[in-house]
Structure 1
Amino acid sequence: MRIISGKYKGRRIFPPKGLPVRPTTDMSKEALFNVLNNHFSFEGLKILDLFAGTGNISFEFASRGSTPITSVDADFGCVKFIKQVAAEYDFNIAATKSDVFQFLERNKATYDIIFADPPYGLDQKTFEKVVLTVFEKDILQEDGMMVIEHSKYTKLEHLPNFSFQKGYGGSFFSFFEIGKSSEEEIDEEDFDDSQEE
């Protein structure tokens, strides 16, 4: 995987084989950060990365100056790798081994951006629970944004605070902002079934 922008632009990071992950593709990641760049200046943003996997998204935020970053994953190997990379690049990333819902239940902090990339194989209700729990616990800052990555088979636009959705390749990103209505605004211009994984 490659860091797209910021201090370590172009740097390639090689996670060990065997991690139970499906990393966000470079194409999708670049599209995601292009959207976020229209809403935020990344310097100093407080980030929560749920189902962090290899830390791909966390590293991108860190390279762009976001700090602090909390990365949560239930897999020991993923958390160990994120800690190794954070130490190597001096990223302010706290990697936590935890079930995501247990983390959200005990979390007391708030964040500017919350990114979640649950395994695509999880059911619809689990994806919905991630979004609903974040807002029930008031974990997102008032002017912040939550982004959840999912396949085209998962539908989240009916949930409270849904703002808009973008599709890239086989991935969709649903964006949530406090106080937004659930009126559907979906941009599939960049969606191409031929690129689906």
Structure 2
Amino acid sequence: MRIISGKYRGRAINPPRNLRARPTTDFAKENLFNVLNNLVDYERTDVLDLFAGTGSIGYEFASRGARSVTSVEINAVHYDFIRRTARQLGIENLYAVKANVFLYLKSCPKQFDLIFADAPYDLPASEQVVGMVLDSEILRPGGIFIFEHSGDKDFSARKEFWQSRSYGSVHFSFFKK
């Protein structure tokens, strides 16, 4: 796993073997950011990374100059890894939060310009995150929400649905508020 672009470009991120995360593949991540590069002014963007896992997506946003990155992860080992890696890289605007995403979304007072969620594919009712984000005020008007999921999910019926992209077995649904 590596950081693709920006200030920390090329830096390898080597999670310990006891991390149970399924990181977004470098191929899918690179293509995702190719899409976002044309849509996002990173320096004016507050990012929320839900189900942060290894923190890979958050590091990528921070490397590209995001104003702030909040990475939410419930697993203590993953949370500690994210904090330690951000510290080692010298990322000062990445805030790791150890919390259950579903509870965090119900109580978070902050708003974000871009929200990325990569729930474990086998997490029961993971798709509820889509409604929780889009039916709340956590995403600023004009903001973008990206939900990574398996190919058996379809969110095109939501009025906020904008587009989907597939890169191998990785699928992204994009929503605009």
Scaled by the length of structure 2, the TM-score of the pair is 0.96
Larger radius of gyration: 1
Alignment of 1:142-157 (within 5 A): 142-157=141-156
**Which residue does 1:30 correspond to in 2?**
30
1:83: Cα distance to partner?
0.4
Aligned equivalents of 2:71, 2:82: Cα separation in 1: 8
**Which residue does 2:159 correspond to in 1?**
160
Alignment check: 8 A CA contact 2:120 2:126 kept: no
Aligned equivalents of 2:19, 2:110: Cα separation in 1: 28
**Which residue does 2:119 correspond to in 1?**
118
Q: Which segments of 5 or more consecutive residues in structure 1 lack a partner in the other structure? A: 179-197
Alignment check: 8 A CA contact 1:67 1:93 kept: no
The higher-RCO structure (CA 8 Å, 6+ apart) is: 2
Deviation per residue, 1:31-57 (Å, 9 max, x gap): 000111111121241000000000000
2:100 equivalent to 1:99 = yes
SS in 1 for 2:36: helix
- Segments of 4+ in structure 1 off by > 3 A? none
Aligned letter for 1:36?
Answer: L
Aligned equivalents of 1:103, 1:58: Cα separation in 2: 17
- Quote the sequence identity (%): 45
Aligned equivalents of 2:63, 2:41: Cα separation in 1: 13
2:65 equivalent to 1:70 = no
Aligned equivalents of 1:86, 1:44: Cα separation in 2: 20
Aligned length: 176
**Which residue does 1:51 correspond to in 2?**
51
Aligned equivalents of 1:18, 1:54: Cα separation in 2: 11
SS in 2 for 1:3: coil
Q: Pairwise CA RMSD of aligned residues?
A: 1.0
Scaled by the length of structure 1, the TM-score of the pair is 0.86
